[in-house]
Structure 1
Amino acid sequence: LVAGDIESAVNHYLQLFVSDKTQSSAESLSFIVFFESATYLMTILDDYELFTLEKPFQVRQLISMAYFCNLFIFRSVWEKTVGRHILQSVKYHWLNDVLRNCTFNVVLGFLLLIYSRDCRRPFVPKDFWLMKDLKSSVFLNEVNRGNKKALFIIQRIPHVIPHRERIKLFRKYVASEKASLAAARLFEDQMSVIITIHRARIVEDGFRQLSQLPGRILKGIVRVKFINEQGLDEPGIDQDGVFKEFLEEVIKNIFDPALNLFKLTSEGHLYPSPTSYIHENYLLLFEFIGKMLGKAVYEGICVDILLASFFINHLIGRTASKYHSSIDELSSLDADLYKQLTFIKHYEGDMNDLGLTFACDEDILGEVVTHELRPGGRTIPVTKENKISYVHLMAHYRMFVQIKDQIAAFMRGFHAIISPEWLRMFSADEFQRLLSGDTCDIDLHDLRKHTQYFGGFHNNHRVIVWLWEILANDFSVEERRLFLKFVTSCSKPPLLGFEYLEPPFSIRCVEVNDDEDEGDTLGSVIRGFLAIRKEDPVSRLPTTSTCFNLLKLPNYHRKSTLRDKLRYAIHCGTGFELS
């Protein structure tokens, strides 16, 4: 398998898969036992053993095995023939027969496990998992037709399809559901939800008015009426834009570690705080923020938060497998505990010297509380024979048991908006990119191509030409990200490009002082278009309406003024009250 032609090996075992229907031949049994054993080993091997010691498999062997399993599972499901051999033992019930097949399932289990390891610590080449001979358009057409084979692939081994195509499919699912719900609301004569929010009490007001609404209602239009910090009504009810602003502020406030609903891992990623129970109605708060984050994903609004991968894996259903191992991701949560458990695992001395039992102590608000990792654990010593079990139980406690109620509440809220089936299309890293946008540098050509202009500005206006030159030549990568965050409230570009940014990126010429901008008038448009100004507006900074992804630029007379004012503005930031 490792040294030979992998394609030939796949053909051979697929033919065996067809011919040995009872899976009772010596070769079939050996094949099954090998992958069952390999799968079990993969659940207990740590990174040091797997990638440094390379025992029991060398990395190149793991890559070969991964290639074999990926191809074997895909062809078992998708293709009807292997050479001249038909894969259908019973034509009508063919797929059900495959899914019940022990050979198929042990290979699938190993494939999902090794793919999960690669997601966490990549060791295969780029695009390794893709089925390059599969035309995405053909496959997605089969998904849309409800083809069971295609649906199995997109939910169980989605990694064989390019990520971009899966994002498009996700957005298509959302658009289709939106259309269905809109038709139902029209039939039922339902009005959109209108909420009143005090800017000084955004989280409290949002929770009070939205937390009890079912997901079906929240998936519709929610309009926001803001009361400013002076207690005055802000003019107008938004056209989707202000809700975007409200949503971003709620998410930013609740995910702030200072609130202690969420904490930061050693890598700066967020996860539910074990002591979040100090908040009244904390589980309802978790369900509420789950709905709000789900709404952001549903509407395609990118938010600047990074979630811990183990937490994401709960959301997308990657922890349900019997082969899931908490120890794999522990280092990203608690590097010190991971080092301690790794030390225990490889400790060759007398385990009695360590004085460990199947229990752990935790300081909760000044009180030491003992938690048993298994029934009667405080009286069960950790020995050489059971230390592997101790390591995994401790990791599982730290990453799940300790915060299981918070995770469950968050998932209830999130899944009320986003179908769990849709989420199975993504790995943890892919979901993070869906949530926060792409991590690459901003494609200025793409941004410029999809920018709209108002107030007399146009693509060849001198201020606009200066702006794109400054972004390309004078600003660093980090400053370009700050610029994007300044206008859209998110520093990362949309995954599918700026064509999919909602509302579209816009730039408007403004000519009045402070925040008295009244939008486009005939006079302002003509003056902007002809670049007519009585004086250089050097005292005015660029401003934004992030709810509409709108940059408001004065008609500066000098490129240096634009560069300096814009740089100052993006580093200082602004408020977000409608102007």
Structure 2
Amino acid sequence: MLMLFCDCSRHLITILDDIEVYEEQISFKLEELVTISSFLNSFVFKMIWDGIVESARGETLELFHSVHGWLMVLYERDCRRRFAPEDHWLRKDLKPSVLFQELDKDKKRAQLLLQYIPHVIPHKNRVLLFRNMVTKEKEKLGLVETSSASPHVTHITIRRSRMLEDGYEQLRQLSQNAMKGVIRVKFVNDLGVDEAGIDQDGVFKEFLEEIIKKVFDPALNLFKTTSGDERLYPSPTSYIHENYLQLFEFVGKMLGKAVYEGIVVDVPFASFFLSQLLGHHHSVFYSSVDELPSLDSEFYKNLTSIKRYDGDISDLGLTLSYDEDVMGQLVCHELVPGGKTIPVTNENKISYIHLMAHFRMHTQIKSQTAALIGGFRAIIKPEWIRMFSAPELQRLISGDNAEIDLEDLKKHTVYYGGFHGSHRVIIWLWDILANDFSPEERAMFLKFVTSCSRPPLLGFAYLKPPFSIRCVEVSDDQDTGDTLGSVLRGFFTIRKKEPGGRLPTSSTCFNLLKLPNYSKKSILREKLRYAISMNTGFELS
């Protein structure tokens, strides 16, 4: 009976749209879904943790897959639009430390738990597990510095004026292992003259961030933004670029490299595209209609209104096709062979809705998506990220969406140029951030210094390079680092000139804030607020 209930319920909930599930609450009330999902979660956990699944055969195995299928449909629906309370999916009786010990010993039940219901493990523990997997691979491939060996280093030379073109040409042919390894970047100007680089890792971070900023700029037309929340997905007309599929593969590798190295990048993806990156669209339980609101909420409403249309749908004159304006020309896409001659009727309108959703999110961008995923998986193994939901993958890419923990940031800040934790300018700074700035301004401040408005998932201890603040003098337009004189002046709060006219600046490649030794807290607050609102960074002092 349990198997029959799970199979029937799963098929029913799969064909219901969000309005029917959350507003009309057809078949199940939301509180009933909470109760059912809690039971299913416990049932699957017990079957795995008690060793039943390891030796299961026949009907027992069928029952497990039936219950697990219904559970995952509910879990993924909750990930898209919450119906369950926070921490509903976690198992309080499962200690992450015990699980990790069993994974290290290759215990089968721990592996099965990670394979089937990773959501029972707290998210931050899964992120730690992911980072551990990356570290182990780096050690295995010899990509970590040891006392007996140094990792292979790939050197590339990049012109700032042609950063994307040079990066693409020099990196796209690298082997997987070379892409995962150390890459040193040397910037040159158009005359071939080297730029000074204080820290090579910082220069690579700057290069990676600039490449990602360029390729994901909708003006380039490799990616488009969704209506409303402006989230990114591959542009259907990106084929206008020569070698566009190779470009998407390169983008996938660069995105994978950022995740591999733990560099957070401010790239908000559409939820449906994140699901494809995770491989969810290959699941037999996947529904394109469920994901459609993340692409175009208005289009979703129009499609679902067809489902609710009481009259004869054929009166609307629709066919199994989709007309699209492509650069001034009307192009007809048939959803099935001969679709432009097949009318939409009351009998086939549900098929029409699913075909249209699948076309918009998959068929239309199939080759671009496949190329990007191929590049991404060349760096990030699919099994490493299957333990994350789509929103969790976004957080892995772009950092935590929680409010910035100033105490954690303060604890992991490094000071230069005479600044220290008890320096009056530093005390003013932390007080301004805590008491004068809004949460939005604190996010702008973090973006100003690190290029990302969100903190790292595991806290600022994992920010690389570490968050730093340097005391700079009023005339230090070309920052030469710390000198004995500048350090002593900063330490003893001696100013060569009154720096009131100079703005704070930053070097995002080093996560470095360059702060003048202001004489008043009010001046610091005014200048810092202006600098972060203009996002001046290193360009203006």
TM-score with structure 2 length normalisation? 0.95
Out of 191, 200, 223, which is 1:262 matched to? 223
Q: For the residues of structure 1 that align with 2:240 and 2:143, how far apart are their CA atoms?
A: 43
Which residue in 1 is equivalent to 2:158?
A: 197
Which residue in 1 is equivalent to 2:349?
A: 387
Which residue in 1 is equivalent to 2:447?
A: 485
Which residue in 2 is equivalent to 1:84?
A: none
Shift of 1:472: 1.1
Q: For the residues of structure 1 that align with 2:481 and 2:58, how far apart are their CA atoms?
A: 63
The yes-or-no answer on 1:156 pairing with 2:116 is yes
Moved more, 318-327 or 535-544: 535-544
Q: For the residues of structure 2 that align with 1:335 and 1:229, how far apart are their CA atoms?
A: 46
CA contact (8 A) 2:264 2:399 kept: yes
CA contact (8 A) 1:359 1:370 kept: yes
Out of 384, 401, 405, which is 1:422 matched to? 384
Out of 360, 382, 405, which is 1:398 matched to? 360
The yes-or-no answer on 1:40 pairing with 2:1 is no
Shift of 1:98: 8.1
Out of 211, 225, 229, which is 1:250 matched to? 211
CA contact (8 A) 1:514 1:540 kept: no
Q: For the residues of structure 2 that align with 1:375 and 1:159, how far apart are their CA atoms?
A: 41
Q: For the residues of structure 2 that align with 1:532 and 1:360, how far apart are their CA atoms?
A: 70
Which residue in 2 is equivalent to 1:305?
A: 267
Which residue in 1 is equivalent to 2:99?
A: 139
Q: For the residues of structure 1 that align with 2:145 and 2:480, how far apart are their CA atoms?
A: 34
Which residue in 2 is equivalent to 1:275?
A: 237
Q: Residue by residue, what CA displacement relative to the aligned partner does 1:74-94 show, whole Å, maximum 9, x if unpaired? A: 1111124xxxxxx48xxxxx3
- Which residue type is aligned with residue 151 of structure 1? Q
Which residue in 1 is equivalent to 2:187?
A: 226
The yes-or-no answer on 1:288 pairing with 2:259 is no
Shift of 1:213: 1.3
CA contact (8 A) 1:438 1:494 kept: yes
Distance 1:312 1:99, change over 3 A: farther
Shift of 1:257: 0.7
Partner SS state of residue 195, structure 1:
strand
Out of 57, 61, 70, which is 1:97 matched to? 57
CA contact (8 A) 2:531 2:537 kept: no
Distance 1:70 1:389, change over 3 A: same
Which residue in 1 is equivalent to 2:514?
A: 552
Q: Residue by residue, what CA displacement relative to the aligned partner does 1:472-492 show, whole Å, maximum 9, x if unpaired? A: 111111111111111111111
Q: For the residues of structure 2 that align with 1:208 and 1:248, how far apart are their CA atoms?
A: 17
Q: Residue by residue, what CA displacement relative to the aligned partner does 1:77-114 show, whole Å, maximum 9, x if unpaired? A: 1124xxxxxx48xxxxx346389811111111111111
Equivalent positions of 1:425-574 (< 5 A) are 425-511=387-473, 513-574=475-536
The yes-or-no answer on 1:67 pairing with 2:27 is no
Q: For the residues of structure 1 that align with 2:235 and 2:433, how far apart are their CA atoms?
A: 39
Distance 1:199 1:96, change over 3 A: farther
Distance 1:188 1:405, change over 3 A: farther
How many residue pairs end up in the alignment? 539
Q: For the residues of structure 1 that align with 2:276 and 2:367, how far apart are their CA atoms?
A: 12
Q: For the residues of structure 2 that align with 1:100 and 1:493, how far apart are their CA atoms?
A: 45
- Which residue type is aligned with residue 46 of structure 1? D
CA contact (8 A) 1:198 1:229 kept: yes
Q: For the residues of structure 2 that align with 1:176 and 1:560, how far apart are their CA atoms?
A: 49
CA contact (8 A) 2:505 2:537 kept: no
Shift of 1:369: 2.2
Moved more, 180-189 or 566-575: 180-189
Moved more, 506-515 or 284-293: 506-515
The yes-or-no answer on 1:124 pairing with 2:95 is no
Q: For the residues of structure 1 that align with 2:370 and 2:302, how far apart are their CA atoms?
A: 28
The yes-or-no answer on 1:240 pairing with 2:197 is no
Partner SS state of residue 431, structure 1:
helix
The alignment-based identity, stated in percent, is 60
Q: For the residues of structure 1 that align with 2:210 and 2:476, how far apart are their CA atoms?
A: 24
The yes-or-no answer on 1:51 pairing with 2:12 is no
Which residue in 1 is equivalent to 2:177?
A: 216
Q: For the residues of structure 2 that align with 1:43 and 1:526, how far apart are their CA atoms?
A: 68
Shift of 1:165: 0.4
Q: For the residues of structure 1 that align with 2:43 and 2:389, how far apart are their CA atoms?
A: 21
Q: For the residues of structure 2 that align with 1:475 and 1:321, how far apart are their CA atoms?
A: 45
CA contact (8 A) 2:253 2:378 kept: yes
Q: For the residues of structure 1 that align with 2:350 and 2:529, how far apart are their CA atoms?
A: 55
- Which residue type is aligned with residue 167 of structure 2? G
Q: For the residues of structure 2 that align with 1:565 and 1:264, how far apart are their CA atoms?
A: 33
Q: For the residues of structure 1 that align with 2:388 and 2:86, how far apart are their CA atoms?
A: 17
CA contact (8 A) 1:511 1:517 kept: no
Shift of 1:117: 0.5
Distance 1:45 1:558, change over 3 A: same
Distance 1:304 1:381, change over 3 A: same
CA contact (8 A) 1:164 1:496 kept: yes
Distance 1:236 1:496, change over 3 A: closer
CA contact (8 A) 2:448 2:537 kept: no
- Which residue type is aligned with residue 469 of structure 1? D
Partner SS state of residue 311, structure 1:
helix
CA contact (8 A) 1:223 1:237 kept: no
Q: For the residues of structure 2 that align with 1:286 and 1:319, how far apart are their CA atoms?
A: 19
Shift of 1:42: 1.2
Out of 16, 31, 36, which is 2:2 matched to? 31
Which residue in 2 is equivalent to 1:112?
A: 72
Q: For the residues of structure 2 that align with 1:374 and 1:99, how far apart are their CA atoms?
A: 38
Shift of 1:56: 1.3
CA contact (8 A) 1:118 1:124 kept: yes
Q: For the residues of structure 2 that align with 1:573 and 1:298, how far apart are their CA atoms?
A: 27
Partner SS state of residue 271, structure 1:
strand
Shift of 1:539: 2.6
The yes-or-no answer on 1:180 pairing with 2:140 is yes
TM-score with structure 1 length normalisation? 0.89
Partner SS state of residue 305, structure 1:
coil
Distance 1:572 1:232, change over 3 A: farther
CA contact (8 A) 1:95 1:149 kept: no
Q: Which runs of 5 or more structure 1 residues have no equivalent in the other structure?
A: 1-29, 81-86, 89-93
RMSD between aligned alpha carbons?
2.1
Partner SS state of residue 495, structure 2:
coil
Partner SS state of residue 240, structure 1:
helix
